[in-house]
Amino acid sequence: MLVLTRKSGEGIRIGDDIKIVVIEVKENHVKLGIEAPHSLSVHREEIYLKIQEENIRAAVLPAEISDTLKRLKNK
């Protein structure tokens, strides 16, 4: 993991397309601004993890339904 120190108004670049700027530092909060292409999704980590869980559930559920339908059909 790369660890950087930045002050309010300073930023970092990730490649040519992503810019992250420290907007505000207050007590134990840091407000970041992120510029990225619209084709790239940017989420808070807890939201990203929920999306991943939902994607896994959505992929598993049709398989379970399919298996159940096959079992019912064979009876």
pLDDT, tens digit (0-9, with 9 covering 90-100), for 6-58: 999 999 999 999 999 999 999 999 999 999 999 999 999 999 999 998 888 77
43 phi and psi angles, rounded to 5 deg: -135, 155
Q: Are residues 2 and 27 in the same domain?
A: yes
Contact 8, 14 (CB under 8 A): no
**Number of independent structural domains in the chain:** 2
Residue 55's domain spans which residues? 43-75
pTM of the model: 0.69
Q: Is pLDDT of 61 > 90?
A: no
Domain shared by 26 and 52, yes or no: no
Backbone angles phi, psi at 14, to 5 degrees: -120, 110
Whether 25 and 36 map to the same domain: the answer is yes
Residue 72 confidence (pLDDT): 76
* pLDDT score at 59: 76
